[in-house]
A and B are shown apart, each in its own frame.
Chain A
């Protein structure tokens, strides 16, 4: 039996406390099938085997807790490590540039990586911590994004309660598609910038 099957089987037995643990651990960065778990929890809520509000509240709190752990660890442990590396090997200017970029766009990045491009969530926690992104702003965008994520996925499971696996499959594929699209936009923009000077010379 796969890890996914084992996890969902335990979810039926242990309910909300297990959901809390799975979502928290996954938000730190452990690759658990958390989307399917949330959708399944929504379905179980619809069937009366779990209560809807505890599922949403526990899921949101767990996701926020996991993010805070990722952010906190990288801020207190990751930053000194980066400082040591830049002192020895250089690259401080690049780190400063990344910090400035994160301060400018970090809020939106944090928000969308909570629920739309969920694969990037744990990475953004770490980079936000290392770059010392202001904690209050991090918490604001984090809470907003995680509540959207949990409510969206749980309600999808609730409304399509008889097709948990299909919904999770669609969500999973869409998440990869969005991630690949972001990469395509970045590379496409770089390519466009390569061609632009040549065009202006001929013009």
Chain B
């Protein structure tokens, strides 16, 4: 009789352990994903610029980086009008360039298009 009670207790404990582990794992996974979801919100203002990806077109990159589109068209040697809606991967293929090259050209144009750039030179020559 006592042995049967022991067996029942053991079985009960084993089930409890499995459920407790599953509970802790699912709770940990919850916390992990909440942290991952909240982090971009906290650093929202530090991540204004999205990484340039092959699916984006010039219009989207200009919109995301807040620069006039014609600057980016010019950087890739494309006419400004009508707007080229091809994704960057298509432009890269047509120009026989890698996506890294395209990215570098666009980033260079973005940096130069943003204010204040270039900084105004000090007018040192005119002062006495």
> A6, A170, A187: which contacts B23 (Cβ < 8 A)?
A187
**Does A93 have its Cβ within 8 Å of any Cβ on chain B?**
no
Asked if B40 contacts A180 (CB within 8 A), the reply is: no
Asked if A174 contacts B85 (CB within 8 A), the reply is: no
**Does B117 have its Cβ within 8 Å of any Cβ on chain A?**
no
A13-B86, A188-B23 as given contacts; A194 in contact with B33, CB under 8 Å: no
Asked if B63 contacts A162 (CB within 8 A), the reply is: yes
> A9, A164, A180, A190: which contacts B29 (Cβ < 8 A)?
A180
> A162, A170, A191, A194: which contacts B37 (Cβ < 8 A)?
A170
**Does A86 have its Cβ within 8 Å of any Cβ on chain B?**
no
- B interface residues, how many (CB within 8 angstroms): 38
A165-B51, A180-B30, A184-B30 as given contacts; A170 in contact with B16, CB under 8 Å: no
- A interface residues, how many (CB within 8 angstroms): 36
**Does B100 have its Cβ within 8 Å of any Cβ on chain A?**
no
A66 to B26, CA, bound (A): 30
Q: What 1/0 mask marks residues of chain A from 1 to 24 whose CB sits below 8 Å from any chain B CB? A: 100111111011100000000000
Minimum CB distance partner of A167 in chain B: B40
Q: What 1/0 mask marks residues of chain B from 18 to 44 whose CB sits below 8 Å from any chain A CB? A: 011011001101101110110011001
Asked if B22 contacts A187 (CB within 8 A), the reply is: yes
Measured between beta carbons, the chain A residues less than 8 angstroms from B60 are 12, 43-44, 47, 164
A-B interface, 4 closest residue pairs, ranked by CB to CB distance from nearest? A8-B55, A173-B37, A177-B33, A187-B23
Could you list some 14 contacts between A and B, CB below 8 A?
A1-B89, A5-B54, A7-B55, A8-B53, A44-B60, A163-B48, A163-B64, A173-B37, A174-B34, A177-B30, A183-B26, A183-B29, A187-B19, A187-B20
